[in-house]
Amino acid sequence: MKAMIIMNPSSGKEKANEYVQKIKETLQGRFSDIDIRKTEKEGDAASFATEACIALYDAVISMGGDGTINETINGIAEQDHRPALGIIPLGTINDFARALDIPLEPYEAISILEGQETRAVDVGKIDEAYFANVLAVGSIAEASYNVTAEQKTRLGSLAYFMEGAKSFLNGEAIDLTVEHENGRWEGKSFLLLAALTNSVGGFESLAPEASVSDGKIHVFIIKKMSFPKIAAIIPSLLKGELKESDEVEYISTSLLNVSSSKEHVVNIDGEEGQTLPFHAKVLPGHIRVFVPAKKAM
């Protein structure tokens, strides 16, 4: 059996090599060949993952943040052979790991590989690309591009929250048309979130009913509102009751088309992606991921 470790050296700092050695020790009893690939530029993780599919590897272990995980999934999705995916979270938010109850402490995450328990999870497809966790459109989503690497290191998820708060105060609502399997919504919105999982931006209660394998995109459209109303929905967000707010339109769908009268950039799994319009759908149970035994299915 063959395994590939895809490592983002910029994540995990000086301990990254230690983590690789621990992964090798954990896998050696089951895998005869273990290859290590280090990313140097954008797109490397996707290329390595595709190579593993073509060469019929049995497992791909992705070390890094949500961006590295997204690239790895883009390399695996819709390939004829798809290796099981291992996730060692080394990023700032690690939403996909949170949604799967994979420990955020790297050595604990590595220990999951010993059990070889997997779960089939959904993957989202946006036009010709793929996502594991969330799509976001609006001034708040675009504000996240202003967060520097230094801010991420120093403040963690708080850095995104601070930029988002500035955007709420200064940003403008945008015109959106949202078509889904049950109808259509049109109006002005500060933010559209289309989530595959319950964890978005480190908030694990955004969509508590969402599952990584329910075949649905959970869409939250935060409408144009005043600052007092914005403040009023924060408790709903923290309690997992955001969809109950009068200022939020909630949609559960397996198909989604979003467009606007102006050009806006889509945030895909926390990274700057394409511009509107987009078409998205769910690929149900598309990839098997190593998970804690209690989460295996």
Catalytic residues, by residue number, are 271
Separation CA 102–CA 197 (nearest Å): 13
Nearest Cα neighbor of 129 from 258, 256, 268, 254 is: 268
**Spatial separation of the C-alpha atoms in residues 266 and 174, rounded to whole Å:** 13
Distance CA 155, CA 56 (A): 40
Q: Report how far apart, in Å, the C-alpha atoms of 184 and of each of 59, 68, 176, 231, 249 are.
A: 41, 34, 11, 27, 11
Q: Kindly report the backbone phi and psi dihedral angles of residue 202, in degrees, each rounded to the nearest multiple of 5, phi listed first.
A: 85, -10
Strand partners, 271: 268
DSSP lists the bridge partners of residue 259 as 177
CB 115 within 8 A of CB 293: yes
